[in-house]
Amino acid sequence: MKFGTKVIHAGLHPDPETGAVMTPIYQTSTYAQEEPGKHKGYEYARTQNPTRTALENNLAALENGVKAVCFASGMSAMDAVLRLLKPGDEIVASNDLYGGSYRLITSMFEPFGLKAHFVDMTDPKAVKKKINGKTRLLWVETPTNPMLSIVDIKAMAALKKKHPDLLLCVDNTFASPYLQNPLDLGADIVVHSATKYLGGHSDVVMGAVIVKDEALAERLYFIQNAVGAVPGPNDCFLVLRGIKTLHLRVERACKNAGKIAKFLQKHPKVRNVYYPGFKSHPNHDVAKRQMKRYGAMVSFDLMKDDFKQARKVLSNTRLFLLAESLGGVESLIGHPASMTHASIPREERLRVGLTDSLIRLSVGVEDVEDLIHDLERALR
């Protein structure tokens, strides 16, 4: 099946009991057994739930994996992957990770003996320097947030050749499976915050891990059941429903983002525009190779680079809503320096280009003329 068919059909079938076309919400905590141990494959809902199973089968197909394992949030999905490691193991990760991912590694796992190195992953040599006999995991995010740098997934996979115990995990939240399939590029594990593009309607928090190895899937199912950070069936239904239009939504949002990036680039009050679709973007060639389109996230900063100017723009859009998160049908605007990245010291922020006036857009699927008009007015 091709992608647009998979989102609607892969792993799904009408309900055998009633013929219901949409997967029912199995709102139950337990399942009746005929005699002890004789059941239909479902015993207790932390361990298995049919709505969740349908979603997991669908997600596995979207990322060309063999199994998907769903969690209560993107963070608990990442937590499950980190639980594959043990004290003394080392991890190499991007130096501009999603804030919550950085926090999970440094505040929850390092105290238990995991050691992490944060490097610029757009430079494979820098990553290679940090890999030693204890390294068990490379954690990649691409495109990155909010600077939209692109990490070469194939180049990261090549670093595993001399290290058979090394796993490569890609947080594919920003691209979505429509734009990029890391397992096909040599990754072992894909993680999603399904809260973003997969759900797509800003109405659910969920996470997923997808793998191409059965043994690794079994270890993750064990963690899912043992820890119990599982999503409820209602949320699974919402993500299943969101996925049915993933290709349409992301396609449209990417088209809108391209036009908005061009508009901003020409605007006299705008200094830099960060968008992997520009030929001038330092990782444009990598993006062109590994992504179907250039994504729907655009960041830019202002000629007058200060908080006050940024605040004026952020407070004067009407369609772009000032909010955290991304990947929904509605366009959002955010200010990383005071919102998502406020805990990073200013000098460190400035070093990677995250200036005081940097503004991040999550472009939605509205009519692009209205979105451009909204930005034009706010900039004025």
Ligand X SMILES: *Cc1c(COP(=O)(O)O)cnc(C)c1O
Which residues lie near ligand X (CB under 6 A)? Answer: 73-75, 98, 100-101, 141, 145, 171, 173-174, 193, 195-196, 205, 207
Shortest Å distance, C-beta 201 to ligand X:
14
Burial state string for 202-232 with b = 16 or more CB within 10 A and e = fewer than 16: bebbbbbbbbbeeebbeebbebbeeeebbbb
Instruction: Name the nearest CA neighbour of 91 among 68, 121, 65.
Output: 121
CB of 109 to ligand X, least distance (A): 15
- 196 is annotated as an active-site residue: yes
For ligand X, the closer of residues 173 and 181 by Cβ is: 173
Listed in sequence order, the residues at least 6 apart from 288 whose beta carbon sits closer than 8 Å to its beta carbon are none
Q: Please identify, using beta-carbon distances, which residue of 207 and 276 lies nearer to ligand X.
A: 207
Nearer to ligand X, 170 or 313 (CB): 170
- Closer to ligand X by Cβ: residue 101 or 309: 101
Out of 79, 89, 171, 188, pick the active-site residue.
Answer: 171
Residue 265 beta carbon to ligand X: minimum distance, rounded to whole angstroms: 25
Residue nearest ligand X, Cβ-based: 74
Question: Among residues 167 and 175, whose Cβ is nearest to ligand X?
Answer: 175
Of 98, 102, 178, 197, which one is the catalytic site residue?
98
Catalytic residue check, 42: no
Annotated active-site residue in 52, 67, 196, 252: 196
Catalytic residue among 42, 46, 136, 241: 46
Question: Closest distance between ligand X and the C-beta of residue 6, in Å?
Answer: 23
Provide the 3-class DSSP secondary structure of residue 147. Answer: coil
Would residue 294 show up in a list of annotated catalytic residues for this protein?
no
To ligand X, the closest distance from the beta carbon of 129 in angstroms equals 25
Catalytic status, residue 46: yes
Phi first, then psi: give them for residue 147, nearest 5 degrees.
-85, -10
For helices 50-62 and 233-243, angle between their N-to-C axes, nearest 10 degrees: 30
Residues ≥6 apart with Cβ < 8 Å to 234? 25, 27
Give the full edge-to-edge strand order of the sheet including 167-171: 67-71, 207-211, 189-193, 167-171, 135-141, 90-94, 115-119
